[in-house]
Amino acid sequence: MTHDKGIVIFDRQHYGKPGGGELGAAYDLDHDGRIEDHEREANLTPDYYLPAKRMLEEQGYQVFVLDQGWYSSRHREARRLAMLYPHRHVVYVACHVNAGGGKYALVISDQRSTQGKYIATEIADSMLTEGIPGIERSITRRGTPTAWTNGLNTIKGIFEGPGNLAGVCFEPYFLDQREHAYAATRAGGERIAAALARGLHNYLTNRRQGVY
């Protein structure tokens, strides 16, 4: 199997930071009065990025997973990988789930990054076409120092990398939203993975063909 199609880097954020103990948002999904490990953000993202990794590898993409260190060090590693493969397009995805009562899937790009905007659009469109129960809106936003700043902080070091590298922050559902309960299951993770893998494939295909 060749790996000339491109490279994808999934970053399991909120996990593996120095000192540990920080796993992102949490919600009592099974309503038993306790927040358990499987109800924490950083333990939910593998339900979609690991199947997406498998799907992309089956299509001939090379996929890396980052899960240790400060975000700045992970961004440095992504830049290193992009420089190591200068003739291949590299996409970095900061993996999250959302909280706060919203009802949409969200993909955030760095306002400075044209390619990041294209990646976000492809993933957001794919999330809608997948028809995941409860996810009826899928939006993109540009992260700036004054708007969508938290999302920007998850990817801002990527822009410093070479021109073959671009990234997005992916937040496919709200774990505290009743309508998104299916998305937080293993079956829902597989559906999100299919949408994510398809969106990344579409972007990388267009990039190779000179559309983007």
pLDDT band for 101, please (50, 70, 90 cuts): confident
Cα dihedral 28/103/144/197 (nearest 10)? 90
pLDDT digits (tens, 9 = 90+) for 110-122: 999 999 999 999 9
What number of residues does the chain have? Answer: 212
pLDDT band for 43, please (50, 70, 90 cuts): very high
The answer to whether 72 and 157 are in contact (CB under 8 A) is yes
Determine the pLDDT at residue 2. Answer: 47
Q: How far is CA 194 from the centre of its chain?
A: 13
Domain 7-208 has CATH 3.30.390.10: no
Q: Where are the domains of the chain?
A: 7-208
Question: Model pTM?
Answer: 0.96
- Closest Cα to residue 116, out of 137, 144, 135? 144
pLDDT band for 3, please (50, 70, 90 cuts): low
The answer to whether 163 and 128 are in contact (CB under 8 A) is no
